[in-house]
Amino acid sequence: MTLEHSGIERTQVEAQLGRPLRGRWAVAARCHLGVPMAIENHPRLEDGSPFPTLYWLTCPVLIKRASRLESTGWMQELTEEMGSSEELRPSDLRSRFAAAIARYLSRRDEHECIEDSGATPGGGPERVKCLHAHLAHQLAGGQNPVGARTLASTGWPDCRLPCVGEEE
C-alpha cells in the first residue's frame, strides 16, 4: 500500500503544522472546505526508525480545541470511566476503545508490520494519553470512541475560509 500526497497537500499540511514533514504520508480526512484535517503516516521513516503515530491531526482549529480539552484533565476522566467497568460488555467504552486500537494496529500493519514497543500511540486500551491521535483516527474513519467523544466535545470546525492556501 502506498501513501502519496501532492505538492499542494504538502504545502497545506506543512503550513498547518508550521514545520516540514518527514516520511511517507497521505491525507486521510478533509474538512468541508477541502483542506486536510488528518494525515495517515507510514509506520517507519526513511531511515528505518519508527514513526510515533499512524494518524496525525493537522486541522489547526481541532488541534487547539483538543489541547484545551487535554488541559482540563478530560483524558483522566475517560481513563477512569474505562476502568470503572467490572465486566466488559461490547457497549462499554473500554471494549469499544480496545476494538478501535485493534483496527488501528491492523491498518498500520497493512503498511508494514513493526514490533510494538508496548505502548499504543495515544494510549489504550486502559489509558487515554493523547486526544489528538484518537481524534485523527476518528476523522480517518477509524470508529474510535475516544476520538468521537473528543469531536463531540470540541465541535466540528465551521470555518468560512480555508486555514491554508493552495499555493505550491
Q: 118 pLDDT exceeds 60? A: no
Share of the chain above pLDDT 70, in %: 88
Using pLDDT thresholds of 50, 70 and 90, give the confidence band for residue 85.
Answer: low
The pLDDT, as a whole number, for residue 36 is 97
The pLDDT, as a whole number, for residue 90 is 55
Q: What is the pLDDT of residues 19-39, one digit of tens each?
A: 999 999 999 999 999 999 999
Share of the chain above pLDDT 90, in %: 67
Most confident of 63-67, 85-89, 115-119: 63-67
In angstroms, the CA 33 to CA 47 distance is 35
